[in-house]
Chain A
Amino acid sequence: MLLSSWSIALLLCGLIVLFLMGLAARSAIRVLLYWDPASDSNRQIRLENEIWLTSTLVEYALGIQIISLIVFVLAADFFSQSIAGAMCATGSLLADSYGVPALVVKIVGVFFYGFWIVLHQLDIHSEKYPLVRKKYLYLLLLIPLLILDLTLEILYITGLKPDIITSCCAVVFGDTTGGGTNLIGGFSHGLSMGLFYGTAGGLLCIGLFLLKRWQRWACVLFSSGWLWFFLLSLTVVTSEFSSYIYAMPFHKCPFCILKPEYHYIGFVLYFALFLGAFFGMSGALVEPLRSVDDLESGVTGYQASAVKSSLFFLTVFVLVSSYHYWRYILIGGEG
């Protein structure tokens, strides 16, 4: 499957990100070795200039990585047309053992790059650049993740074998690959809906409380709540909401909602969920930085806007994902 436009686009994205991050890593090594805020040597001035380059490079890399995540899912959907038994991206991601790990690494990667940008924004907020060493160490740690991402992607693409009709019947009539119905097969409909709306309501209350009075325990609760809600939402969207969007009880798939037949509703849904989860979780992650020299006001400002943004995206996500379900219930359908 290597010689398909989608594979080429994916590999191109991966190589561009690796190139940009490689350049950023080169600066990172120099900063880690020679950074000296007290000095006013030429090298220090050059390094201070390079900080701008690295941040721009990582921002571009993040943007391309987000696009590459979408391209990856759409590519898997495209590959499903040529894999026996696969009907959509679910089938082709399960077609070899690298599909799902590649997707997970990509999603995790987007969060990690995003956190780097938060760190950078906090750092440049202060004139002393107190986080320089930490953030460049973090940047160097991102490189293995990136290489893993690209490796899994290549393994996945090269592992996909399309069936050609001239091959023997035994190969052609291979088993169909599975669907996404067994994700939370153990949960009943009522329980998963209760958990979903309960957690969303809880997050909303804690968020509003945090905006009125900042408490460290509430912040940690809010962020861990978001982590739980993020994973829960991915499964509930797949196993519950998606079939209402498709208007077919047995069609449960997290990827088909990205298709034009369903008005690209999945993009709005996942966009809101990912952004909400990112802002929600990053609030607690920056909490330890409060004690760092000169960062208190920056951290406070960021946390307040992160909580506001996460609540906004939470509302959008819950409204968009529940729309088809509640419309069905309100016009007289049975839950």
Chain B
Amino acid sequence: MNSRLTQHLNILDYALSSLWRRRAKNLSILIVFSWVIFLVASFQLVTQALTETATSVLRSTPEITVQKMSAGRQIEIPIDFSRKLAAIFGIQEIVPRVWGYYFDEVTGANYTVMGIAPGRMPLLDRLNLSLEEGGRYDQGSRGKVVIGRSIRRIMEEKGSTLLSLFRPDLSQTSFEVTGVFKPEVDILTNDLIVMNIDDARDLFAIPSSMATDLCVYVANPSEVATIARKISEALPGTRVLTRSQINRTYQVVFGWRSGFASVCLLTALTAFVILAWDKASGLSPEEKREISILKILGWETADVLAVRFWEGILVSGIAFIVGCTLAYAHVVFFNASLFKPVLIGWSVIYPEFRLVPSFRLDQFLLVFSLSVLPYLAATVIPAWRSASVPADSALSGM
């Protein structure tokens, strides 16, 4: 066993020196291969980081959201509906919510306006923890808002202290800003305006008996599915969304997008595999002479194959480490600037958020099987061709 280990160590040593002797050719392969791995790994890491962010963001959403549907579209839901649900055992709280999008014609940006019922959201006290300045969110009072950082920036550019918005009939309403969200929650709050539910109704001209949707909070998480089913039975014509479904949709969307990107990257991979095959196939006269001299010295085909195998492992191993390190740096330090628009979309005000993928072995195995395995498979036949150079071919050139 020991002698075989020493043999392989010697072969590894020889493979290293052989790679070094042809460093120009190998370096070109290494650079292209690292680039391909960088592309594949970047996409995987961005997807993973986005999925993790989505999961952590959804942790604070209500367990169930009830929306009324008409002709396949969401319409306002009567607040009375919550009375019909009161009988369902296990529901902790049903809170009406008014929300919508507000288009600011001056800046061309879309704001998200969220009107919440004062004092009824179970997690409302947490809202204060995410405020950067301005103290507490005053739950009861009207005419006051908490805004995201982008909206504050727009207000500062305009030089106004009050947030002025227009109702559908173009009459103006103004709000006093009592707080600004912290940068850490930008992904959720960058374009967000939180206000009293009655203010939101007033802004969107929604009757006081209506809401956009109903948030249902459930005490026991394992009862969510059953309660959701009961709600959909009690309120026909509504759409009942659970948090886990929303989360699953995010996973599917990100998974689909990264899969689509992988398909696109397969073309780059194919091009690289053809290059690797081509480079490995072109045996120079020196290489032929080297192999036949080795054979004259007593090397067997299996030994030359082992050298080629180790060369392949070394090249792909180094390229893999370089590519993955660059990809990690690209995602963490450069915020995945090359690929983020593909995965998350684009808007006038878009949140600046940091992507920090966790280090997971399965992601690296995925990148490995998408990049290194095709390379190894592409070089096996050229490796055999070079290993089967007959011993006497060295003499023919002399």
Contacts and interface: CB of A to CB of B under 8 A. Distances in A.
The yes or no verdict on A and B being binding partners is yes
B260 A23 contact: no
A199 to B, nearest CB: 28
A23 B225 CA distance: 52
Interface in B240-257: 240-241, 245-246, 248-249, 251-252, 255-256
Interface of B: 43-44, 47, 225, 228-229, 232, 239-241, 245-246, 248-249, 251-252, 255-256, 258-260, 262-263, 266, 301-302, 305, 309, 360-362, 365-366, 368-370, 373-374, 376-377, 380-381, 383-384, 387-388
A19 B377 contact: yes
A82 B252 contact: yes
24 contacts: A3-B256, A3-B263, A12-B266, A12-B373, A13-B369, A52-B301, A56-B309, A56-B380, A56-B383, A56-B384, A57-B380, A60-B376, A60-B380, A67-B369, A67-B373, A74-B366, A81-B248, A81-B255, A82-B255, A163-B245, A165-B246, A169-B232, A173-B225, A173-B229
B369 A82 contact: no
A71 B364 CA distance: 11
B258 A5 contact: yes
A16 interface: yes
A53 interface: yes
Nearest to A8: B262
Interface centre among A13, A23, A169 (most CB of B within 10 A): A169
Contacts of B241: 165
B319 to A, nearest CB: 17
Nearest to B231: A169
A53 B255 CA distance: 38
A297 interface: no
Interface in A71-117: 71, 74, 77-78, 81-82, 84
Interface of A: 2-9, 12-13, 16, 19-20, 23, 49, 52-53, 56-57, 60, 64, 67-68, 70-71, 74, 77-78, 81-82, 84, 124, 162-165, 169, 172-173, 260, 264
Nearest to A169: B232
B370 A5 contact: yes
Contacts of B376: 60, 64
Contacts of B232: 169, 173
Contact of B388 (A13, A52, A64): A52
A173 to B, nearest CB: 5
A172 B245 contact: yes
Contacts of A5: 43-44, 47, 255, 258-259, 262, 366, 370
Contact of B305 (A20, A56, A163): A56
A12 B252 CA distance: 21
Given A7-B259, A9-B369, A260-B361, A81 B251 contact: yes
Contacts of A57: 380
Nearest to B302: A52
A64 B373 contact: yes
B369 A68 contact: yes
Contacts of B383: 56
A100 B67 CA distance: 39
Contacts of B260: 3
Contacts of A169: 228-229, 232, 239-240
Given A3-B263, A4-B256, A165-B241, A9 B366 contact: yes
A70 B376 CA distance: 18
